[in-house]
Structure formats: structure tokens, C-alpha cells
């Protein structure tokens, strides 16, 4: 068994103009993002070397910048964008991204609306010692 470790960023806040309705694009709103990066931290810990992990402060800034860039219709698209930003880091093997839209235009009372995706790279899973099937799943 080759378990992966995690770095988690919870509640990152960004102001952006995503949505299908005209007022969402005009006025913008707050989006909240949670990111869990799955990676191997044993080498970084043994060497006490930041270069062997992901700098979570820089990652937080990159995630917020990705959310705040180029308006799109769907929070699903925003989540994909964030996942690609995270997976651009060499140490990242798998990432789970949740994008919350707490002020979504819904006509009934609600606490939150969110989309969660999980993405990874099969070659990174193999490099981390995981067996994967022909579909690229661990």
C-alpha cells in the first residue's frame, strides 16, 4: 500500500463574475474554494525541503487568481481550471476541488451550492507507486 499525504486549503475566498445570469456577470459575487492535494510528503519531510512539496501560501494565491480570472458560466468550469493549476505542480498526484457559490440565484432558502471534482494524472500515480488500470484509475 502506498498512501498519499494531503495538503488542504479550506475556505479560500475570491470575488468573481461567473454565472449564466446577466446580473452575476455584471455585479459579481463571492466564491469559496476548498482544495485537497494528494501527494507524497515523505521526501520533503526527511529533507526538510520546501522544493519537494507545494508551498501552500503560493498555491492559495494561484487558486484565487484562477477563480478571479476570465468569467465563465459554470462553477464546474471554475473547478476544472483550479484543478489544472494545482496539477501543474510537480508534486501533486491527485487533487479534489470544491467550488462553493453561497449567493447563487436560487429561489428557495439554502445554505450553499457547491461542485466537487477530483482529478489526477495517471503517470503521477504510477510514479507514486500505484497500480492503475487501462482506464487510468488506481
Buried b / exposed e over 102-114, threshold 16 CB at 10 Å, is: eebeeeeeeeeeb
Q: Which of 102, 94, 98 lies closest to 127 in space, CA to CA? A: 94
Would residue 40 show up in a list of annotated catalytic residues for this protein? no
Q: Who's near 26: CB < 8 A, 6+ residues apart? A: 17
What is the DSSP track for 71-92? --S-HHHHHHHHHHHHHTSTT-
Going along the chain from its start, the domains and CATH numbers come out as 5-127 (3.30.1130.10)
Q: State pTM to two decimals.
A: 0.90
The answer on pLDDT for 134 being more than 80 is no
Q: What is the pLDDT of residues 55-66, one digit of tens each?
A: 999 999 999 999
Kindly state the helix (H) or strand (E) to which residue 12 belongs, with its residue range: strand 5-16
The answer on pLDDT for 136 being more than 90 is no
Q: What pLDDT is attached to residue 133?
A: 60
Mean pLDDT of the chain: 92
Q: Which of 40, 100, 101, 124 is catalytic?
A: 101
Q: What is the pLDDT of residues 24-50, one digit of tens each?
A: 999 999 999 999 999 999 999 999 999
Amino acid at each position: 500500500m502506498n498512501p498519499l499525504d494531503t495538503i488542504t486549503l479550506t475556505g479560500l475566498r475570491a470575488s468573481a463574475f461567473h454565472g449564466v445570469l446577466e446580473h452575476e456577470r455584471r455585479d459579481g459575487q463571492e466564491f469559496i474554494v476548498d482544495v485537497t492535494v494528494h501527494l507524497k510528503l515523505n521526501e520533503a519531510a526527511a529533507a526538510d525541503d520546501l522544493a519537494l512539496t507545494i508551498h501552500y501560501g503560493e498555491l492559495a494565491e494561484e487558486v484565487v487568481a484562477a477563480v478571479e480570472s476570465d468569467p465563465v458560466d459554470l462553477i464546474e468550469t471554475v473547478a476544472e481550471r483550479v484543478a489544472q493549476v494545482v496539477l501543474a505542480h510537480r508534486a501533486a498526484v491527485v487533487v479534489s476541488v470544491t467550488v462553493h457559490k453561497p449567493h447563487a440565484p436560487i429561489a428557495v432558502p439554502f445554505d450553499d451550492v457547491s461542485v466537487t471534482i477530483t482529478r489526477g494524472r495517471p503517470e503521477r500515480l504510477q510514479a507514486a507507486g500505484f497500480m492503475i488500470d487501462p482506464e487510468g484509475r488506481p
